[in-house]
Amino acid sequence: MQTRRLAMAGIAVLTSMSLSLTGCGPTGDDASSTPGSNTTASAPAKPKEPKEVLVEAAQKSAMESFHYTMTYSVLDMAGDFDPANKSALIKTKVNAGSQSMSYDTMLINQDAWLKYYGVSSLPKKWLHIGTDALGADNKLWKTLDDPTGASGYTNSAVDVQKVDDAHFKGTIDATKNPNGDGALQKSALEQMGDAAKAIPFEAELDDKGRLSKVTMDMPKGGAQPADTMQITFSDYGTSVSIKAPAAADTQEAPEAVLKGFKNL
């Protein structure tokens, strides 16, 4: 994700340079009075393909802080993301009848803290997880590169159609998702079968070309019924303050918690 951000910044610089240089040469009477001058109108810029617009929208979104929500099946999530300080705070509710519970996840660089509510078998303090417990390559740390999974979803989009400047639709081949995160993990894909190769989606952009909403019609996978996943984005650029919990309020995560993350 860092590489893509640098690439986008480079493209933005080149674009601004090309715009500022247009018209710097002689124009009008000055141009025609120069002996031997031969001015040729520049060719119009080629319109971007719909998928290219979507991929750039996801990249642009990840360059700023934002608030997001995600609903899918029994999950309701809301989070705040701050790329400048490599931090995120995500609140998750699991609404599964008698199994309902909630938990918060805080990520700052390569440290994570989880706090569970309504789970009597787990401590009530923030449970710390570091790279010494999971390793530096664990997918938990990739959350800060693409907290909503939007980059992976847009990159795996196929048959993208532009409805208008702010609305797009098409299908996602989840087997080509480079991140394979969230509901599109390998085990879920296997259960979805061929349906995972053509998941219908719709996307909306705001007036600055950033994502504002992504909706996907997720297919049935094993015991998981077909359902709609919706992600919304808001409050771009708003100040986000995420601070590690006090030491007195934390303890190291037990193996029961670590086990779930080791299988990511």
pLDDT at 67: 97
* pLDDT bucket at 38, cuts 50 / 70 / 90: low
Residue 20 pLDDT greater than 80, yes or no? no
Residues 107 and 225 in one domain: yes
Residue 4 pLDDT greater than 50, yes or no? no
pLDDT at 223: 78
Residue 68 pLDDT greater than 80, yes or no? yes
Nearest alpha-carbon partner for 5 in 41, 71, 55, 47: 55
* pLDDT bucket at 39, cuts 50 / 70 / 90: low
Residue 212 sits in which domain range? 53-234
∠ CA(10), CA(168), CA(166), 5° rounding?
Answer: 70
Higher-confidence residue: 114 or 35? 114
Q: Is residue 149 part of a domain?
A: yes
Instruction: Give 148-207 as a 3 state SS string.
Output: CCHHHHHHCEEEEEEEECCEEEEEECHHHCCCCCHHHCHHHHHHHHHHHHCEEEEEEECC
Q: Cα separation of 80 and 90, whole Å?
A: 7
Residues 68 and 171 in one domain: yes
Residue 17 pLDDT greater than 80, yes or no? no
Convert the pLDDT of each residue in 227-236 to its tens digit: 999 999 999 9
Higher-confidence residue: 2 or 51? 51
pLDDT at 252: 96
Residue 255 pLDDT greater than 50, yes or no? yes
Higher-confidence residue: 90 or 152? 90
Residues 29 and 136 in one domain: no
Residues 91 and 41 in one domain: no
Residues 125 and 17 in one domain: no
Residues 156 and 205 in one domain: yes
Q: Is residue 38 part of a domain?
A: yes
Q: Is residue 259 part of a domain?
A: no
Query: What's the whole-model pTM score?
Result: 0.77
Residues 7 and 129 in one domain: no
Could you give the number of structural domains in the chain? 2
pLDDT at 11: 22
We report the CATH number of the domain holding residue 73 as: 2.50.20.20
Q: Is residue 262 part of a domain?
A: no
Residue 15 pLDDT greater than 80, yes or no? no
Q: Is residue 153 part of a domain?
A: yes
Q: Is residue 240 part of a domain?
A: no
* pLDDT bucket at 58, cuts 50 / 70 / 90: very high
pLDDT at 168: 97
State mean pLDDT over 102-112.
95
Q: In what order do the strands lie in the sheet with 111-117?
A: 157-164, 167-172, 199-205, 211-218, 227-234, 66-72, 75-82, 87-94, 101-108, 111-117, 126-130, 250-252
Nearest alpha-carbon partner for 146 in 231, 216, 240: 231
Convert the pLDDT of each residue in 142-198 to its tens digit: 888 888 988 888 989 999 999 999 999 999 998 887 555 444 566 777 888 899 999
Residues 27 and 72 in one domain: no
Q: Is residue 241 part of a domain?
A: no
Q: Is residue 258 part of a domain?
A: no
Residue 44 pLDDT greater than 80, yes or no? no
Residues 26 and 39 in one domain: yes
